């Protein structure tokens, strides 16, 4: 009996993307996970730090070398600007990247196995900043809705009733609801409103040239977490993001 070669059955094996590409990973059933392990609501600084640290670990240890990553809540958006690992093979990108983040976050939080899914978002170079503006706007919506929902829950509403009540509220209504209960959404920590950016930062340090026997200044790169972001859609934010991603 001839042994069949099932390689031809791998229907996505030759599906490829070209840069620039965002790999977006999202946590699976994280609301239940965070409730089960008693993280603070609507935001927990330990969880946010673990997400940022998992992203930094990806930069430093995955060997895949992204340009920049933007994270909020349970999602991470990872930009590959000029080159893609695995020759752009989508099945590799959407499996290796989420699995690395899952492992890093599970280890950081010391929890049972955590799962992320992944998707590939091909972009034109001119769309990179627009994409990040979009995701940061979603972070702000997530912040407003999170505080609104848990404010209602703190007043005795069930999860179902709180979610139903939220459906009929505009952003301005949620602001007022929270303000009446002592929460000024314009004053909550910046990372809750605007997310966290992780990227390579160039810096200089003193060194020594043994051949010429002189002290020199050398250029190096390190991974930086920025928890104090401007609004990407603003002039300041646009200058910052362009400096990191080009364009």
Place of tokens 């990553």: 69
> Is residue 217's pLDDT more than 50?
yes
Is 52 a domain residue?
Answer: yes
Please tell me the predicted confidence (pLDDT) of residue 205. 76
Phi/psi at 226 (5° precision): -110, 110
Is 149 a domain residue?
Answer: no
**Average per-residue pLDDT for the chain:** 91
**109-129 residue pLDDT tens:** 998 889 999 999 999 999 999
pTM exceeding 0.75: yes
Please tell me the predicted confidence (pLDDT) of residue 3. 60
Token readout for 51 is 């997400």
Please tell me the predicted confidence (pLDDT) of residue 150. 94
Strand, helix or coil for residue 202: strand
Least confident piece of the model among 144-148, 170-174, 216-220? 216-220
CB-based contact 98:116 (threshold 8 Å):
yes
Show the domain range for 55: 10-139
Q: Looking at residues 91-109, what average pLDDT do you find? A: 95
Q: Looking at residues 149-173, what average pLDDT do you find? A: 92
> Is residue 218's pLDDT more than 80?
no
Place of tokens 């730090």: 49
Interior angle at CA 77, CA 71 and CA 78, nearest 5: 115
Domain CATH number, residue 131: 3.30.70.3000
Strand, helix or coil for residue 195: coil
Please tell me the predicted confidence (pLDDT) of residue 72. 97
Number of domains in the chain: 1
**1-37 residue pLDDT tens:** 456 676 677 777 788 999 999 999 999 888 888 888 8
Is 197 a domain residue?
Answer: no
Is 222 a domain residue?
Answer: no
CB atoms within 10 A of CB 65: 13
d(CA 69, CA 77): 5
Is 196 a domain residue?
Answer: no
Is 124 a domain residue?
Answer: yes
The CA R_g of the chain, rounded to the nearest whole Å, is 21
Please tell me the predicted confidence (pLDDT) of residue 240. 96
Please tell me the predicted confidence (pLDDT) of residue 1. 46
The distance from CA 69 to its chain's CA centroid, rounded to whole angstroms, is 6
Is 76 a domain residue?
Answer: yes
């Amino acid at each position: 009996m001839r042994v069949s070669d099932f390689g031809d059955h791998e229907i996505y094996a030759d599906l490829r993307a070209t840069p620039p590409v965002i790999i977006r990973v999202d946590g699976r059933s994280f609301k239940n996970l965070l409730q089960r392990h008693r993280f603070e609501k609507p935001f927990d600084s330990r969880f946010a730090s673990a997400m940022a640290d998992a992203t930094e670990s990806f930069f430093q240890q995955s060997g895949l070398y992204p340009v920049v990553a933007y994270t909020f809540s349970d999602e991470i958006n990872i930009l590959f600007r000029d080159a893609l690992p695995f020759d752009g093979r989508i099945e590799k990108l959407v499996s290796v990247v989420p699995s690395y983040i899952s492992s890093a976050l599970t280890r950081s939080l010391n929890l049972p196995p955590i799962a992320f899914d992944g998707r590939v978002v091909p972009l034109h170079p001119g769309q990179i900043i627009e994409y990040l503006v979009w995701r940061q706007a979603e972070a702000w919506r997530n912040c407003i809705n999170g505080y609104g929902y848990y404010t209602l829950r703190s007043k005795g509403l069930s999860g179902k009733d709180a979610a139903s009540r939220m459906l009929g509220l505009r952003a301005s209504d949620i602001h007022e609801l929270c303000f009446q209960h002592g929460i000024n959404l314009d004053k909550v920590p910046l990372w809750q409103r605007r997310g966290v950016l992780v990227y390579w930062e160039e810096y200089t340090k003193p060194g020594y040239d043994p051949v010429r026997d002189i002290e020199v200044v050398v250029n190096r790169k390190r991974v930086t977490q920025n928890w104090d972001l401007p609004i990407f859609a603003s002039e300041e934010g646009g200058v910052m993001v362009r400096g990191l991603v080009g364009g």
